[in-house]
Amino acid sequence: MPFIDTDIEGLKVFEPKVWGDERGYFYESYNYNTFKSAGIDAQFVQDNQARSVFGVLRGLHYQVPPFAQAKLVRVIEGEVLDVVVDIREDSPTYGKTYSILLSAENKKQLFVPRGFAHGYVVLSETAEFFYKCDNFYSKESEGSILYNDPTLNIDWKINLDEAILSEKDKINSLFGEHRKS
């Protein structure tokens, strides 16, 4: 199976089989049957893509029910540190963080179930970030957690004084004070 379970229930790393030769490479980035056989039965309804420069830090964002979203995230160009936080209050790993290097070179993808805050920081000169969502975006249902929350103590792998943030991400809620519904 091309899936690696993490120590957080439902959070899986997907490492696709890549065929390459002198012409380049080919791989199947998503196949419903492959994902379903791994226990991922998400019906993706929306694709999003973002281009950013080194140091751009986006997150930690999430959607509350009824617009909570599962995501399948990957990098098409460049390299990012992808970070998630389990915000499922009934989970034994509530408040636990997980980070992974996603890049165009390693072609790894991360399946993020509903109930997680998500963010990433660009580690290369530029990066193209792509993700599938199993629910539609709703501005009224968005929530966010402060990227440098001292309780979470996330190592973003860059000097945070150099991070490029949106005005909104500079004033997100602390973990534990974040929106729950």
CATH of the domain at 81: 2.60.120.10
In a domain, 16, yes or no: yes
In a domain, 177, yes or no: no
Q: From CA 117, how far away is CA 88, in angstroms rounded? A: 10
Cα angle value 36/63/30 (rounded, 5°): 25
In a domain, 92, yes or no: yes
Indicate the number of domains in the chain.
1
In a domain, 176, yes or no: no
Among residues 95, 135, 130, which one has the least CA distance to residue 114? 135
Among residues 165, 163, 164, 171, which one has the least CA distance to residue 146? 171
Q: For residue 21, how many other CB atoms are within 10 A of its CB?
A: 7
Residue range 71-108, pLDDT digits in tens = 999 999 999 999 999 999 999 999 999 999 999 999 99
In a domain, 119, yes or no: yes
Can you give the pTM of this predicted structure?
A: 0.94
Q: In the prediction, which pLDDT does 105 show? A: 97
Per the structure, the complete domain to which residue 62 belongs is given by 3-170
Residue range 125-157, pLDDT digits in tens = 999 999 999 999 999 999 999 999 999 999 999
- Residues tagged active-site: 61, 131
In a domain, 179, yes or no: no
